Structure 1
Amino acid sequence: MVNIKSIWETQKPTGDFIMKTRLENILHLNCYAGTNNITGQYLYIMSVAKSIIIPELKNYRFRGVEIFSFETDSSLELNIYLIDNDLKDIFALFVQNIIEDIVTTTSENEALTTTLNVIFKWKKLFDKISFSGMPLEYQKGLIGELFFINSLIDNNVSISKLLGAWMGPEQDDKDFRFGNIGIEIKLTSSKHPSLKITNEGQLDTQNVNELYLILYVVENVKENGFSLNSLISQIRDKLYSDLDKLKFFDERLLLLGYLDDDHYNTMYSIKQIHNYRISRDFPRIIKSQLPLGIYNTSYSIELSAVEKFRVESDIIINSFN
């Protein structure tokens, strides 16, 4: 598969306004990696026949990226233009996703439809990301997921299975899905911990055979603890010998809005770990119970009310084996 970022980085200035390199691995389409010769900004171009109808693109535009089409003497061009150079790494992933998806298409119409679907998916993703830094509660959520990954690696769970099960930035209401098993992770530093559920989908078992909920209760410490940055460093060290897995992990972090330049060094230590199996009589709110028109419900559950649903960590670990 072509590496779009390496093409951009090796393009040499020419007398043209836009430097273009045709993507030779997509033989049935005219697709190009481009660089603005004046500003140095990256773009992706797909050229199609004039008979192809490109829809109104204003609903597909999103932060840091401009998407437009225009007519040349012989064709129509769809241009996806990076206008914020700070986003060049995530823009490369975005364009790479388009390229990977259109390789198997058989016509320009199909390739255009596929491209617009990828754009729309990434628009929703970009709308969720805060590029000015992650809010504290978002950091805690990511810390919980990474602590789970790190712990299971230490318990000799397959790294491939773990990374494949991690939903991360995907549009999913479970943090991890392994086959028909779902796992939801919570982390709190409250002195009076409870289970804070953010929507009616999190504890819904409609699309899974088994669902587990893990609550990490932590406290702030000044030393001998872990931070978001230190957890990432630990996991990277464990993935160092497998560059493909390391690349996948780093891409997921990038899609979640984590940048290596950010400083997330608040330290925590684990006080308690609560593991629960979500069965039919577990106290929860699910979609089928809500009155028509009500959605995105958030609520809290007292830990004393779910004590009988606790399970041992080994049960969850073994679900990955």
Structure 2
Amino acid sequence: MKMPNANTRDATGFDARACDNISDNASALPFDLHDAETLHLALQQQLHSFVSAKQPDKTYIVADCEFRWNNTASDGYRAAEGASAPKRIRWPFDTIAAASWTVMRFKANETVEIEQPVVMSAQGADDTATERQMVEAFFAALAAEPNAVLISYGGETRDFAVLRRCAATYDLQMPPQLRESRLYHPAKLDLCMAMSVGAECVHLPELAAALSIPAKPSPSRSIGRMIEQGKWPAVREQVLADVLTTSVLAIYHLASHGVLTCNRADAVLALATAAKLAAPQDSFVTKTFVPWANGVKVRSRLRGVIDVAA
């Protein structure tokens, strides 16, 4: 490239010959300097490559379990312990009656892929399973995604403890996400604790109502009774609903903390689509969650302040 001569500059200092020299070497560049659109696209591609390098794909597995009591074992413990036994049955005697989970993948290009949620239960469907089979399937899903973050709502206070008990009972190796016993660890996220921090922990439907997110089709305290009464379709509906609500909370929470860069409305709609494919007969999914997700997408296209009824 030729060095510009001082006498080629105009009054503003602009050197026309320098630009000519750049043009002379334009063939060595990956784009046409005279084509603004090509230049724009080339810069966009470079920016995308930079963002992809800085923000790798992120995978999350959102899960929830429902329980029934192992009354036989609990009664034996109470008989042996006598008056010193606690008045209520605690987690060692919880048996997993239903489980659900979904895998959410957030790509560096801000797209999201959500797998159809899995729903398993002890009874009430063609794919009924024992506690061991449910735990084995869930552990396999976690092991298949060793870098995925396990997300729950209140999992640290019950679900994870029961899963550790199951691993000990059935001689199973726990997946990476559950081997870490610390409450706050990058491999897992309990949204109940993460969102409340120093404030009082609240119930999932309580927080969901404040955020206008649909939640539990049946009252929280009714799940044990529904299991005992054999209302398995309602049990399956409840555990899936918990996973969907927790997934939405996860998207909102992670996006607001700058962990994810995504279109929230598109992510919510992708979640609803996956849920409908997995459970087309589920009343909560088809009559409540999918219409709500469609509404979220519609409102995302509007401008200005939008009032949303709780």
TM-score (norm 1): 0.27
Higher helix share: 2
TM-score (norm 2): 0.28
Could you say which structure has the larger radius of gyration? Answer: 2
Higher strand share: 1
